[in-house]
Amino acid sequence: MDEYIDTYPSGKNRQEAETLLSEALVNSSDYLRAIEQMDRIQNKSPRIRAAYQKVAFYQAMVYYRDQKYKQALALLDKSQAFPEDRDLLLETHFWKGEIYTADGNLPQAIRSYEALRATNPATNHPFLIKSHYGLGYAYFNSQNYPKAEEQFRTYIQKLSQASEKQYFDDALLRLGDCQYVQKKFGEAASTFQRAISESTTGKDYAYYRLAVVQNFQSQNNEALSNLEKLISGFPSSLYIEDAMFQRGQIFLEEVRYSEASRAFSDLIASRPNSPFIPYALESRAVANFSMQNYDQTIADYKLILDNHPMLKILRLR
């Protein structure tokens, strides 16, 4: 086909030869050469337009996997220039949203996800459902928590009716976070409780956030109970140190100074490299001072001054 086109540029079978060559290149997965070849065709037939849409999309996904975002976006634009397949057009909007998100361009990511929704796909279309999750995170990371809450809620509702529940657990936790940040403590508590009941992953985080919410609601006994469940049930959790410190703080609020001192001592002894150590020392000093254990109080303040001088500077500011 190459030889025919080069030898007979005005041949009567040129258009058919170009079509056959393009389809051969598509089937060989030589996407870049196929795009180059089809770019030369001035009057693209519907078959060529459909092939171009697919090939540009496939190569864009190759670039996306290689984190070559600029090249990927350029080819997705080329794919969108020939919207022969409506479902594939919808996918290009989704992946542009994903690429812009990965590249940190949240306003463009939001516009791409919204462009997908503007195509009016079926409410249960898998890429529309995925776009709710993508939009949720784009709004969440933009600190637009009301819109993030709306998208995560919609995503969860649609997944509840679907067989595949990809990212369900994570979306449930982020929904709770959105409600917590907006001080919707009752709703946040219900969401984190649901995450504990239904989720297979993220239960440790749900226990921690539920305890924080309950602390704001002055439900400190319930908060302490959930912190204990996290500490005893998830010893390798990323949130174990947060939970241990929060437990001590609640005891301190409750003027249960002896228990507070022990809680902070547990954190200091078991997690000596924790970033919470200087704050745990300071809080333990407060608890010991309240119990008139002045020697221990002095010892803790000396440890702060000797080993954590930046804490003193932060407090002075």
For 103-143, write each residue's pLDDT tens digit: 999 999 999 999 999 999 998 899 999 999 999 999 999 99
CA distances 297 to 25, 180, 186, 252, 266, Å, are: 77, 35, 38, 15, 16
Distance between CA atoms of 191 and 185, rounded to whole angstroms? 10
**Which candidate, 160, 164, 103, 109, places its Cα nearest to that of 134?**
109
Q: pLDDT value at position 312?
A: 55
Question: In 3-state terms, what secondary structure has residue 30?
Answer: coil
Q: What is the pLDDT of residue 199?
A: 76
Q: Are 173 and 205 in contact, with CB atoms under 8 Å apart?
A: yes
d(CA 77, CA 60): 9
pTM of the model: 0.86
pLDDT in tens, 61-103: 999 999 999 999 999 999 999 999 999 999 999 999 999 999 9
